[in-house]
Amino acid sequence: MHIDWWTLGLQTVNALVLIWLLARFLFRPVAEMVAERQRAAAALMSEAAAAKAAAVSEQRQAAAELARFAQQRAQLLDAANAEAATLKASLEQAAHADAERLRTAAHGEIDAMRRDAAQADADRASRFALEVTARLLERLPQEARVAGFIEGLAAELAKLPANTRAQLSDAAGTLRLIAPRALQPDELAALRTALAKVLAHVPPIEVVVDATVIAGLELEAAHAIVRNSFRNDLTRLKTELLAHDTVPA
C-alpha cells in the first residue's frame, strides 16, 4: 500500500483550516449566543424569583393586614358590646331609679292627700265641736256671763309682772273692758273692787260690748292685755286641737 504523504498532509491542513474556520465563524458565535441566552434566562429566572418573593411578601403583608383588621374588628365589636351592655345597665338602673322616684313621689302625694284630708276632717270636726260648745255656752244665764269671771280676771291680772301692773296703775288713760253685754252698776263696782286688790290705783274703765266674747271679761291697756273669757278659751282650745291633729302619727 502506497501512502501519499503530500495528499495526506494537504487533507490534514484542509481539515485543520476547516476546523479553524468553523471554530472562528460558527462555534464561537453559537457559543456566545448560547451564553447570552443563558445569561438572559438566568436574568429572567432571577427576576421571576424576585417577583415571586415580592408576591409572597405582599401576600404575607396582606394576610397580616387582614389578621390585624380582623383583630381590630373583634376588638371594636367587643368594645361596642361592652358599651351597649353598660348603656343598657345604666338605662335599666335609671329606669328603676325613675320608677322608684315616681313611686315614692306618688306615695308621698297620696300620703299628703290623706294627711290633708284628715287635717280637713279634723279641722271641720274641731270647728263643729267649738261651734256646738259656743252655742251651748250661749245658753248660760246673763248674770253668769259676767259675775263668775270677775275674780278670774283679777287673778290673771295678778300674774302679770310687777312693773307691768305698776304701769297699769300709773296709766293716765282708761282701761278698756270687753264684755259680752253691758255691765250692771253692781257688777262694775265688784270689778273695780277686785282690780283694786291687784292694782295700787284703778284707772277709769271703758266698757265695750262684744257678743263674740260669749261669756267672761277681757281687759286691754296700752301695756298689757288680760283675757278671762270663753272666747279666749275656745280660741286656745281650737289651736290645741288643730295642733294635735296635725302631729304626724
Q: Are residues 101 and 142 in the same domain?
A: no
Q: Are residues 143 and 242 in the same domain?
A: yes
Q: Are residues 13 and 93 in the same domain?
A: yes
Structure confidence by residue, pLDDT tens digits, 12-33:
878 777 777 776 666 677 777 7
- Which of 197, 230, 239 lies closest to 211, judged by CA? 230
Q: Are residues 96 and 151 in the same domain?
A: no
Confidence (pLDDT) at 24: 67
Average pLDDT estimate for 167-193: 87
Q: In the chain, what is the straight-line distance between the N-terminal and C-terminal CA atoms, in Å?
A: 162
CA-to-CA distance for 224 and 164, rounded, in angstroms?
Answer: 7
pLDDT band (50, 70, 90) for residue 108: confident
* Residue 227 within any structural domain of the chain: yes
Number of separate domains in the chain: 2
* Residue 94 within any structural domain of the chain: yes
Q: Judge whether 203 and 173 are in contact, CB under 8 Å.
A: yes
Q: Are residues 3 and 60 in the same domain?
A: yes
Q: Judge whether 134 and 214 are in contact, CB under 8 Å.
A: yes
* Residue 68 within any structural domain of the chain: yes
* Residue 124 within any structural domain of the chain: no
Across 60-69, 92-101, 214-223, which has the greatest mean pLDDT? 214-223
* Residue 1 within any structural domain of the chain: yes
Q: Which domain holds residue 175?
A: 138-246
Q: Are residues 41 and 86 in the same domain?
A: yes
